[in-house]
Structure 1
């Protein structure tokens, strides 16, 4: 049976140019070369850098998340800076520990033996000591005529009183010199976390922030630079390597078919 002219001519053209692999095959081969697996040292360094990013990011997130978690539960974390409450008694703590405090608003929430945080009269430095006694004391005011301190009275003529706490550090021999009014009591200590204080204080400092944030940023920059250098090296290698056998013939054959 005679072969149609178009099919006979097309087969002749393929035979004359000596076509090698098809263009799609060469394209697949090139794609496989471009996705060549990274060398072992590259993968190891990348894994180490990602580990640095993960560890430092987790540490930074924890330093922000711990205080926030307590704050959402209407509590506050305080760092202990002195040893006035050190000792074997339950509820004691040492310098460098962290204590969790809950705010109080009513005198009925206080009792002897509790550990409270407060501002001593005439001071803005927060102190955390144990309550040794509770008292209602008269409110004192200065007499405008004599200049002496006298008790305040209400409309019925009764002395006006206010709740006070007398406190003492477990490691101190004597109670604190001044009783503290309830209005200056910040809250009641709920729990103690040994050695957390130094960690939280460090993570909140400028040095701690730098140590937690600088390494992951540097690691990300290093990985980006490594990827750019590897890509540039691969392109340079591809440009200098000779074309595989049959590749030029395939491109010439395809061009001849498309142009004719």
Structure 2
């Protein structure tokens, strides 16, 4: 973690607070200790307090865009209805395909085939 630089995205946790993931805007040395100035990508200005390096849990290596929306979907009433509707549609489609397949006549294999 000593090679952190501006532009890196880090996850950190201050004592007794939530886990936060923000981008480093500046690395500063104060009295021999490393501090990070961070800013959330959706925020207009940097966070008010510097983050000591000891609070850093890790650096973001890769991310999957928009997956957070998918993970948050079950937490809203509309999301629950949407997911239940999707499952119901898939079950109906599966049942329909099974009934179509069961009702289709089987053709015998041509001699010498198979």
After TM superposition, the score normalised by the length of structure 1 is 0.29
Question: Which of 179, 184, 189 is equivalent to 2:55?
Answer: 184
**Residue of structure 2 equivalent to 1:123:** 17
SS in 2 for 1:126: strand
Match of 1:223 among 80, 94, 97: 97
The CA distance in 1 between the partners of 2:68 and 2:62, in whole Å, is 18
**Structure with the largest fraction of strand:** 2
CA distance in 2, matches of 1:221, 1:215: 10
Distance 1:165 1:202 in 2: 28
In structure 1, the gaps of 5 or more residues are 1-105, 138-160, 235-260
Structure 1 distance, partners of 2:86, 2:10, is: 33
Q: Deviations over 1:151-200 (max 9, x none)?
A: xxxxxxxxxx6533222346434x4222222232233345677xx32xx2
Indicate the structure (1 or 2) with the bigger Cα radius of gyration: 1
* 2:29 alignment partner, one of 135, 151, 174: 135
Q: Distance in 2 between matches of 1:227 and 1:110?
A: 59
Aligned residue pairs, count: 97
Aligned equivalent of 2:70:
203
Structure 2 counterpart of 1:172: 44
Aligned partners of 1:176, 1:125: CA distance in 2, in Å?
Answer: 14
Larger helix share, 1 or 2? 1
Q: Provide the C-alpha distance between the structure 1 equivalents of 2:24 and 2:57, rounded to a whole number of angstroms.
A: 13
SS in 1 for 2:97: helix
Aligned CA distance change for structure 1 residues 187 and 131 (closer, same or farther; 3 Å): farther
- Please give the secondary structure, in 2, of the residue aligned with 1:165: strand
Question: What residue ranges of structure 2 are gaps of 5+ in the alignment?
Answer: 75-79, 106-114
> Quick one: higher RCO (CA 8 Å, sep 6+), 1 or 2?
1
TM score, norm. by length of structure 2: 0.53
